[in-house]
Structure 1
Amino acid sequence: MSAVRVLVGTRKGAFVLTSDGTRKIWQVAGPHFAGWEVFHVAGSPVDPNRLYASQSSGWFGQLVQRSDDGGKSWQPVGNEFKYEGTPGTHQWYDGTQHPWEFARVWHLEPSPRDVDEVYAGVEDAALFRSTDGGASWQELAGLRQHESGPFWQPGAGGMCLHTIVLDPADPQRIYVAISAAGAFRTDDGGETWRPINRGLHSEQIPVPDAEVGHCVHRLAMHPAQPGVLFMQKHWDVMRSDDAGESWHEVSGNLPSDFGFAIAVHAHQPDTVYVVPIKSDSEHFPPEGKLRVYRTRSGGNEWEPLTEGLPQQDCYVNVLRDAMAVDTLEPCGVYFGTTGGQVYVSPDGGDHWETICRDLPAVLSVEVQTLE
């Protein structure tokens, strides 16, 4: 029988949750790296026992860890993230120029083709790649050195490259999202980049329809439709049908179009999940009701999924990297909250169950389907 491994990064360590294909009884291992913020844990699609974790501490800095046995043991790997050339400056909160400074790794994206290739999105925003299993890292500097770079500005959480989407049909095409610069695409393996933000509208910036400056919270794609992208923006849920060349809003009847997380069903490319959050100043669900919303039509028409979720006095947040799906049938949907809960729906969102209730605040959730 197939099994599932859920990789959870939290404010105080990483946890590995495992179950068989029924997804009813769970074993919890951890905390790994206890006391450290673990921004992201990700597994290789090539070898599911190859895991990477990004741990960060205000006292001790940044570390990348690697496991070759599915999380039973870990070893630190390369941790030098050096900007290529003279780093230069970007725009600061007050509009002045500020030096580019490395702070931490927000997101790790292992290659679907090579077990030793992995990408890292960092703060201050840049993209790095390792081809030796994390032992060394090289910047794909064409992104940070884009002509718009000096105008990039941090969002409330910093100027972070938090989303990396590798096109499954074209190994040269990569999408990234940066808060608060927007979405970018390369078609030549990272040598050159261009903004893909046409159709985005952000009232919070001086020029609402500007080429860059949008606070994109998350991108999602279904591998069967690599030209179709979904986006949760600071405000608005968006869709592109042309690989990011243009975007249109699909927020429809959502109670709020602010949020962080977005995910696509493993087998149904037009089935998408979001978790509406009240506003950019009140990071909790509208009316204190924790609701996942699902569209089966690629947007605009959304239904609330509430069975098993708290429907009163719930004031948690669901962060951008904290929702994922498995590839079992039926598809399982998972998310974690800043209150330390991790939920699973083994039936595509119709019913929800709690895996854990009392973890530290959840920063990220990734799922591996094990054969």
Structure 2
Amino acid sequence: MSGSYTVCLGTQNEGVWVSHDGGSEWLRSRLDLPPYARAGEVDVRAVAVSPHNPRQVWAGSTGEPGRAVLLRSDDCGRSFENVPAPLDGSEIWSIALSPHDASVILVGLRPAGVLRSTDGGQSWKELALGAAQLCNAGSSRTTDVAIDPDHADEIWASVEIDGVFHSDDGGDNWARIVLNNGQSLLGPTEVWRDDRHEDIHGVEVGGGAVCASTPIGFFRSTDQGRTWSPSRFPEPVPGAGQIWYTRGLLTKTDDPDTILAGVGDYIPGARGVIQRSTDGGRSWAPVSQVTNSVVYAIAGHRDIPETMAACSIFGQVLTSTDGGATWSRTARDFGETRAIAISPASG
């Protein structure tokens, strides 16, 4: 499998880049953008590969501020076409493609909201997420959307900064959930702030559990979000000190007890690492080299569960072909990256 897969990378200012050989060679994707989205102003914060068609890739771009563009590729990321969607005044921060139905697409927005299509992107409905539109960091944003692989109607969304949101009816109705037990993570020199357990960077679901990443560590619930078990991580290098600002999350598709977490010292950070758990997040081990910034995103695909890719916010790309146990860094670095996805297709 080594090298025979595609990596799609969403960057800050430089659009989408794609590698059809696992990260050895890269080309810049052709994007069908409206006139206002000029070269050098194309931020891509969301990239997702279809679970049903490995050659179909979706991406979310923001041209000028507040003018988002939704894009779809049918040639494994080589080129993207504009998909009309009601995005005026919004930015795209996350995309989820249903593992149950190829026609269901969810798009997470800033200010926090979710759009849903049930016809493959031909029409869209804004869902009543109910998240706060403003927070102490400006406008809120839906950083992640996750559809339960075992239950099509169970959907989770993470909002920065307003908590976790859950729907059990496919997104028609939502309940806000605040992580609890976070204060147990804090050491004697740390100060608790009420927004710390509402600042959610990512959400993953599978095997009857939901996981969330935050600035103060990792949280996992096995009772639909009523109670949470938090954890932090060992030192990435002995003597280097702990880091626990958690961003990217990935649950291994064929083993929900195996979880990968991308962490760093802060945002954007000066160092980061990928931590791996094989017991559902109760214990962790660092499995990658130390990166130049927080590990912002981690990606997998259900058809190649042993193969994964990750990126740091300052452009380093890492890949694994053994279920995340070990990682290697690709030869090419990028400026800044915000999203990553992989496909079993090789272009």
What's the TM-score bracket when you normalise by the shorter of the two chains? 0.7 to 0.9
Matches within 5 A, 1:175-324: 175-201=156-182, 203-205=192-194, 214-222=198-206, 225=207, 227-251=208-232, 253=234, 255-279=242-266, 283-285=269-271, 290-306=272-288, 309-310=289-290, 315-319=292-296, 322-324=297-299
Match status 1:170 vs 2:170: no
Q: What is the deviation of 1:131? A: 2.5
1:295-336 deviation line (CA, Å, top 9, x unaligned): 222223222224xx35xxx542322xx211345777123211
Query: 2:17 maps to which residue?
Result: 15
Amino acid at match of 1:247: W
Q: Distance in 1 between matches of 2:304 and 2:85?
A: 38
Q: 1:133 aligns with which of 112, 117, 120?
A: 120
CA displacement at 1:119 relative to structure 2: 0.8
* Structure 1 residue 132 displacement after superposition: 3.2
C-alpha contact 1:259 1:274 (8 A) present in aligned 2: yes
Q: Return closer, same or farther for 1:328/1:353 CA change in 2, 3 Å cut-off.
A: farther
| C-alpha contact (below 8 Å) 2:308/2:342 kept by paired residues | no
- CA-to-aligned-CA distance 1:342-364 (integer Å, 9 cap, x gap): 11122233432222523231100
**Over 6 Å off, 4+ runs:** none
Output the amino acid matched with 2:321. P
CA apart distance, 1:106:
0.8
- Percent identity over the alignment is 26
Deviation sequence 1:117-176 (CA, Å, 0-9, x none): 2111101111111233323321112x22xxxx45x6436474101111112222221111
For residues 95 and 77 of structure 2, the distance between their equivalents in structure 1, rounded to whole angstroms, comes to 16
Q: 1:108 and 2:95 equivalent?
A: yes
Measured on the aligned residues, the alpha-carbon RMSD in Å equals 2.7
Name stretches of at least 5 consecutive residues in structure 2 with no aligned partner: 32-38, 184-191, 236-241
Q: Larger C-alpha radius of gyration, 1 or 2? A: 1
Flag the 1:155–1:233 CA change in 2: closer, same or farther, 3 A: farther
Shift, 1:252, TM fit: 5.5
- The corresponding residue for 2:26 is 28
- Structure 1: give runs of 5+ residues left out of the alignment: 83-101
**C-alpha distance in 1, partners of 2:160/2:154?**
20
Equivalenced residues, count: 322
Residue type of the alignment partner of 1:28 = W
TM-score scaled by length of structure 1 = 0.78
Deviations along 1:79-104, whole A, 9 cap, x unmatched? 3237xxxxxxxxxxxxxxxxxxx321
How far is 1:29 from its partner?
Answer: 2.5
User: Partners in 1 of 2:328 and 2:9 — Cα distance?
Assistant: 16
Shift in Å, 1:180: 0.7
How many Å separate the matches in 2 of 1:114 and 1:349?
Answer: 27
C-alpha distance in structure 2 between counterparts of 1:342 and 1:68, whole Å: 24
Query: Residues of 2 paired with 1:273 and 1:63: CA distance?
Result: 30
Quickly say closer, same or farther: Cα 1:291–1:234, change in 2 above 3 A: closer
Counterpart in the other structure of 2:5: 4
Structure 2 length normalisation: TM-score? 0.83
Matched, 1:77 2:83: yes
2:337 is aligned to: 362
Change (3 A) 1:327 1:175: closer
1:49/1:26 CA distance change after superposition, 3 Å: same
SS of residue paired to 1:113: coil
The 1:343/1:164 distance shift into structure 2, 3 A limit, reads same
Q: Which of 38, 49, 59 is the equivalent residue of 2:44?
A: 38
The answer on whether the counterparts of 1:256 and 1:276 sit within 8 Å (CA) in structure 2 is: yes
